[in-house]
Amino acid sequence: MQNAPSLILGIALVVLLLLIAFSSGTEVAMLSANRYKIRAAAKSGKRTARALDALLSKPESWLGANLVILALASVAASSIVTLLAQRTGYEHAVPLAAGALAVFMIVFCELAPKIYAALKPDPVALNSTYIYKVLVFLMTPFSWFANRAAYGFLRLFGVKPVKEGGQAMSPDELRSVVAEAGPMIPTRHRQMLLSILDLEHVTVNDIMIPRHDIASINVADDWEDIIDQLRQTPHTRLPLHDGELDNLIGIVHMKRVAQELARDTLTRERLIEIARTREPYFVPEGTSLTVQLNQFQRNRRRLAFVVDEYGDIQGFVTLEDILEEIVGEFTTDPATITHKHVHREAAGAHSTDHWAGNYPRTGRKR
């Protein structure tokens, strides 16, 4: 190096500075890249994403190679600048050149590349994937030694390497990722995902229909009153009880009642017989919605009575109630229908927007 022409040393210095800038910027990009987005692209068949995902799964390989190159390039650049400064013959050339090199490296080889990589981590990481594969291959002996030395030093402080799979996200971390997804996930879908994550923190007590609001049939009432109630109810399922609500007989499905009414064969005894074919389903108060949703699915049920520790009915919860916690309300009270999707076009003419998909329900189904 001592006898090399100054032009060659100048070119080598420029190459080394570019290498330092590349190493600094891509290091930030690789550490900041969206692993889940890259993994999804890899599963879709993109070769570059697959190669990058393989690199990111072994950070010690590419990070070791990057640090070795960065260290060697920094030392070499400093030596070249010192040599070129000495050739000028100026008394204070060496300290001035060292100061100028430090400022240049901080601004143009560290800050600028890192800021750019932090703003666009995924494109920078993807574009440098194959370069890193070559560098990792060339620097394998150096990075192997450096990694072993680093792990040995960390073991002195009780730090051990994390095995694959140790980066699983907690529910709170996943909630933060979904909340900060921005335009990548539509607002409506983002809210649904957050609602699913929150199900385990909500219990059946929070969404149940209170005991005094449960629509039910008392078999001890006057038969004409029972018939009127059956004909006017907006619900598809009604609890049948004898006297107090706690004396449940079963659940009456209005489809079967309608068949009996059509044949004029419905009697009090027949109504009790229909109700007993569907025994009531009870769940303890305080059950989380996540658990209850699984129970509904496992037991093939759509509704349940919430009971306290003494077995007294406290309320009523349905599958629709839990689904509304996820997707929002999709049932409609007939008294509140506003027909938002009906527009007047001309005298006596109306048009609808997606009428089939937005047709309101008439009451809460049970």
The predicted pLDDT at position 157 comes to 82
Strand order in the sheet with 313-318: 209-210, 313-318, 303-307, 282-284
The predicted pLDDT at position 330 comes to 64
| Tokens representing residue 327 in the block | 């997707």
Is the model more confident about 155 or about 3?
155
Whole-angstrom distance between the N-terminal and C-terminal Cα of the chain? 87
CA dist 95 and 101 (Å) reads: 10
Domains and CATH numbers, the chain: 6-155 (no CATH), 171-200 (no CATH), 202-346 (3.10.580.10)
What letter does residue 109 receive in the DSSP assignment?
A: I
Residues 6+ apart with CB under 8 A from 281: 299, 301, 303, 304, 305
Residues 6+ apart with CB under 8 A from 222: none
The predicted pLDDT at position 356 comes to 35
Question: Average pLDDT for residues 17-37, to the nearest whole number?
Answer: 91
The predicted pLDDT at position 36 comes to 80
Q: 0.85 exceeded by the pTM?
A: no
Q: Is the dihedral of CA 38, 186, 174, 329 positive or negative?
A: negative
Question: Average pLDDT for residues 14-36, to the nearest whole number?
Answer: 91
182: exposed, middle or buried (Cβ count in 10 Å: 0-12, 13-18, 19+): exposed
CA dist 93 and 80 (Å) reads: 13
SS3 232: helix
pLDDT tens track for 104-130 = 999 999 999 999 999 999 999 999 999
pLDDT tens track for 49-76 = 999 998 888 887 888 888 888 988 999 9
Residues 6+ apart with CB under 8 A from 37: 122
What letter does residue 363 receive in the DSSP assignment?
A: S
Is pLDDT above 80 for 280? yes
Confidence of residue 210 (pLDDT cuts 50, 70, 90): very high
Question: Average pLDDT for residues 72-81, to the nearest whole number?
Answer: 91
User: What percent of the chain lies above the pLDDT cut of 70?
Assistant: 85
Question: Average pLDDT for residues 157-169, to the nearest whole number?
Answer: 63
Residue type at 101? L
pLDDT tens track for 306-336 = 999 888 999 999 888 888 888 877 655 544 4
Confidence of residue 354 (pLDDT cuts 50, 70, 90): very low
Is pLDDT above 80 for 351? no
